[in-house]
Each structure stands twice: as structure tokens, then as C-alpha cells.
Chain A
């Protein structure tokens, strides 16, 4: 199913912070029934000084756009905003924004869950944790993230 017109995609990979309020307001102006969103934040604690996001610059934007197009083929959406930051991010910093506007709340909510599940498993980003004592460690991919992403294959195929 698709919306009445092709949805508006806003896909960005950037070092800079973003303003979720402004981004959601832009989606509200698309005339929909609702806007749903997810904002990912760097979890602090355990002596974490920064989370460093590495990515595959030539590929990241393409992969994110492909995920947005997949969502647009599954739900009637008016707009999708995907913003993913890279570089060093301090605890509490925003990492990612996923938002979807739709005439229907279920579509907006489900598309948002789908977009973040697939972004975690199908976009070429890698997280490295850097600690106050100078240690660093690459974050391991989690099986539960894979399972969360795979449930959308079962639901919509």
C-alpha cells in the first residue's frame, strides 16, 4: 500500500546536532493525521566519555534512503525524516532521529518502529565506546536487534 502521493523523504548523515522539535514541526506541516518519532540518545554511565560513530560515507545515505523507500512501500506515509549523526558524541547527545507522518496513527507508529529497527541492522554505522581511563571498545551487534529487524520480514515480507 502507498499513500496518495510519493512521501517526502528527508535523509541526512551529519556530525552536527539536530532539533527534534523543528524536524517534527516540518512533518506536521504535511497535512497528516499524525507524526510519530524515535530519538536515540547516547547512554552514559560506566565511565563512558564518548560514543564514536564511524560510517561508510559513500554508502550510508543510499542505505538510509533505501530503508525509507521500503517503509513507503509498506505504509501510507506523507513524509519520513531520518537523521543519523557520526563522529564523537558525549553521553546524553542525540544520535539518531526517525520520524514518520501519515494520515493514520498506526501507520506512523509502525513505520517509526520499522525504520529504527532496520536502521540499526541495515545502515553501515559502527559504534565505539571511549572511556575516561582511555580504554575503548567496539560495540557488538546484538542478536535481539537482528530479531527485531527480522520480525518485519515476517509481517510484511
Chain B
């Protein structure tokens, strides 16, 4: 996992290795499962609608499957430019 911006700040780290159970299939389910890991995770993922994701450096939606992903990044909507 990689975390950026206020997701990173609330969790307290920029990344971690996780091993979700088999019934966690989509990005949305992953976010729901991560939210239970600690108070910081819970704060970061309290509003799932405000979370965006990328799998292996490509933006994906909440219904994307996480199977086979090497690296998943979770972050707020982007604000560059």
C-alpha cells in the first residue's frame, strides 16, 4: 500500500504491506477493511467517497478488482497543476 497527502498523515506512514482476507475483492472493500486496522486508518478512510485509488500506477475506480495488484495507492482527489 502507498498513502499520500492527508491519507498518509492520518495513517501516520507513507506505506505498508498488508494481507487482506480473500473476501476483500474490490478497492472499495479494501478501503473498508483497512479502516479497521487502527484509529489512524479509521480517520483516513472515514469518508470513502473522498478517497481515490491507483493500482500499479493507473487510476482505478472503487469497483476495480485488487487481485494481482503489486502496489495499490490510496489518496485524496488530486490537486496539482
Contacts and interface: CB of A to CB of B under 8 A. Distances in A.
A20 to B, nearest CB: 16
Given A59-B57, A138-B6, A96 B73 contact: no
A16 interface: no
Contacts of A58: 57, 71
B77 to A, nearest CB: 4
A125 B4 CA distance: 9
A120 B78 CA distance: 7
B77 A141 contact: yes
Contacts of B43: none
B49 to A, nearest CB: 12
A49 interface: no
Interface in B64-79: 71, 73, 75-79
A95 interface: yes
A62 B57 contact: yes
A141 B81 contact: no
A74 interface: no
B5 A126 contact: yes
A40 B4 CA distance: 22
Contacts of A123: 78, 80-81
Interface of B: 2, 4-6, 54, 57-59, 71, 73, 75-81
